[in-house]
Structure 1
């Protein structure tokens, strides 16, 4: 007669790879607050770029060229590239699907960072977005390899790895809600 076996794939580890509490980091609570500030500021940069491109707030995007006024968030930048990969990116300028993907990326990654949720998914998506933006900037004029896009990507990875959403964010609640979700979904959204 077969014996019922408990699924051995269920782990006693917490649902996120950032299982070590932020308070266990060197610096303790102060480190957690510093990472929370970094997370919120980085998310704010992305949400600001999104808002400026949607509404044309007059900083990087004039009102007449806003997305709401019919402008393209990618046309001006991608269309004016002069770097070594310009030929690969210029045909994407003004493409509605590319515009929508770019804007959705800014919104979702920025919101996840500000709220402190889905930091692993935000790190993956944000790193992909930053990598593509880094490629469009090649060759970099001030440094042969590094620019702010690489720093932003590294910061997003560090924020996800340390579970920075648990300080001044909804990371704890997010993890609790995901505890009941299927394993594959939980891994993708933490």
Structure 2
């Protein structure tokens, strides 16, 4: 009697694959690291923004009320003093020396200067209109750079200018930082930047961002 053996196809059996798990862990770690780096960067820019805001606001307050730092008590703007006369009136070098002397103490120059300090300071502190603040602040820093004129080694009277660098000074550093804060949308962290960006007027006009 012939015995017929029927071959039975065994059900496919696969060991569980851990390949996805092995790759998921590094990917998750990479995402977490990227998120952490992005968050740290956002807080660094936000801190720089608040610090710059304090620089501008303090200059405004000191020149307005004569708090005894760059402006002596009793010489503040509210006391009848001029915020621009002391600085522009003592410009002693550079291609705009005579122009700055003519501007020193003028009411329009005082108002523009003080409104610039206040406006840029408030914008930086609140984290709104950073692009406008960057433009206004850069113009102010550029004019101050020209007033001090770092390239000169001697003043108009021949005395040493005491310049420490023929080009770079803190005015240029401040201007570059203002631009960087606007580009990085530094007002979105620790500021009102996100709320500001949702306003209809701002959404339709990116330059207000």
TM-score (structure 2 length as normaliser): 0.75
Partner of 1:60: 70
1:71-86 to 2 correspondence within 5 Å? Answer: 71-84=81-94, 85-86=96-97
1:26-105 to 2 correspondence within 5 Å? Answer: 27-84=37-94, 85-105=96-116
Q: Is the Cα–Cα contact under 8 Å of residues 197 and 203 in structure 2 kept in the other structure?
A: no
Structure number with greater CO (CA < 8 Å, separation at least 6) is 1
Partner of 1:166: 188
Unaligned runs of 5+ in 1: 1-23
Note the C-alpha offset of 1:183. 6.6
Q: Is the Cα–Cα contact under 8 Å of residues 83 and 139 in structure 1 kept in the other structure?
A: no
Partner of 1:9: none
Q: Is the Cα–Cα contact under 8 Å of residues 63 and 69 in structure 1 kept in the other structure?
A: no
SS at match of 1:181: helix
Cα separation, partners in 2 of 1:40 and 1:182, compared to 1, 3 Å: closer
Partner of 1:113: 124
How many residues align structurally?
A: 165
Q: Is the Cα–Cα contact under 8 Å of residues 47 and 111 in structure 1 kept in the other structure?
A: yes
How far apart are the structure 2 equivalents of 1:40 and 1:81? 30
How far apart are the structure 2 equivalents of 1:164 and 1:142? 31
Note the C-alpha offset of 1:87. 1.4
Unaligned runs of 5+ in 2: 1-33, 152-162
